């Protein structure tokens, strides 16, 4: 994988093809490996997928791994590679980072596609019932550390978030960057950043800012890719309706196939086909 020096560290990334850039952003607890089956079929174009700072093969600097930290290193990566007229594809926190980057760089974005993304602040009551107690525990001092740093809960339980568990060798790729308690800090900080019940306030503020941009940017096409909810799904019909009612220039494509939270693992060919056909007509 290529490595790009950014700020005081480095970001590793995958790259295929040439032409107008399509950037694929992963979330927690994955890496660019999530897009391995999507990228080859999502072209044409210069397809890139970074490992977020502290994750995958990217550097592990001694930072707090807040949302703002991830955005800052991602900004530096976009700038170092001189990426403009970008089509963004985001999953989980990658969706939030895509909207956040686009809202702050409106002249550089061509469109945004997203699937099972973290895209709006929620009350605890809005959050899917199956995840409420999990995230309450993660956000509890001491309990969250034991779950995420000691037990590596998200990755050890990865197969419970997909309809079809990936082969052991793919799970090993996700596990490899986190051999120690300290190396798993980004996974805990991401989970605790979930904007629930008005906290963390700084994350809620960023979501509100890019939400306003999403509602007021009809010049930027957007694509929501949805599936029938499977294991660990975060999206509800209410989430999809909120997007449809709120976001300007949004196309919704919902599929009959069942997918867990990690939709690019379950249905990469569907996502790739949607991105490719939609990108062909995006401005």
Interval 180-218: pLDDT, tens: 999 999 999 999 999 999 999 999 999 999 999 999 999
Q: Write b or e for each residue in 208-230: b if 16 or more Cβ atoms lie within 10 A of its Cβ, otherwise e.
A: eebbebbeebeebbbbbbbbebb
Say what the pTM is.
0.98
Question: How many residues are listed for the chain in this entry?
Answer: 283
Residue 162 gets which letter from DSSP?
A: S
Q: Where is 89: in which H helix or E strand? A: strand 86-92
3-state secondary structure at position 213: helix
Burial class (CB in 10 A: 0-12, 13-18, 19+), 19: exposed
| Domain ranges for the chain | 3-279
- Assign domain 3-279 one CATH number from 3.40.50.1820, 3.30.420.40, 3.40.50.2020, 2.60.40.10: 3.40.50.1820
Interval 70-109: pLDDT, tens: 999 999 999 999 999 999 999 999 999 999 999 999 999 9
3-state secondary structure at position 230: coil
Mean pLDDT score, 128-140: 93
Closest residue by Cα to residue 39 from 227, 252, 271, 225: 271
Catalytic positions: 92, 116, 261
């Amino acid at each position: 994988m290529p490595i790009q020096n950014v700020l005081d560290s480095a970001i590793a990334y995958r790259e295929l093809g040439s032409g107008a850039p399509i950037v694929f952003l992963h979330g927690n607890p994955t890496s660019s490996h999530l897009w391995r089956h999507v990228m080859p079929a999502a072209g044409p174009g210069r397809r890139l997928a970074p490992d977020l700072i502290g994750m995958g093969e990217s550097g592990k600097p001694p930072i707090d791994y807040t949302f703002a930290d991830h955005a800052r290193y991602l900004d530096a990566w976009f700038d170092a590679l001189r990426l403009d007229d970008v089509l963004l594809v985001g999953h989980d926190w990658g969706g939030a980072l895509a909207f956040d980057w686009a809202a702050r760089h409106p002249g550089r974005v061509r469109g945004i596609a997203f699937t099972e993304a973290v895209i709006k602040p929620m009350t605890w009551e809005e959050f899917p019932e199956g995840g409420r107690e999990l995230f309450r525990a993660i956000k509890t001092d001491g309990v969250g550390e034991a779950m995420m740093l000691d037990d590596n809960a998200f990755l050890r339980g990865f197969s419970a978030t997909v309809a079809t568990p990936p082969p052991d060798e793919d799970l090993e790729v996700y596990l490899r960057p986190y051999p120690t308690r300290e190396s798993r800090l980004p996974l805990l900080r991401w989970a605790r950043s979930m904007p629930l019940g008005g906290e963390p306030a700084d994350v809620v503020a960023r979501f509100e800012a890019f939400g306003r941009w999403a509602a007021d940017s009809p010049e930027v096409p957007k694509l929501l890719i949805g599936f029938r909810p499977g294991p660990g799904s975060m999206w509800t019909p209410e989430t999809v309706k909120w997007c449809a009612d709120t976001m300007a220039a949004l196309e919704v494509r919902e599929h009959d196939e069942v997918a867990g939270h990690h939709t690019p693992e379950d249905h990469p060919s569907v996502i790739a086909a949607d991105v490719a056909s939609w990108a062909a007509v995006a401005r």
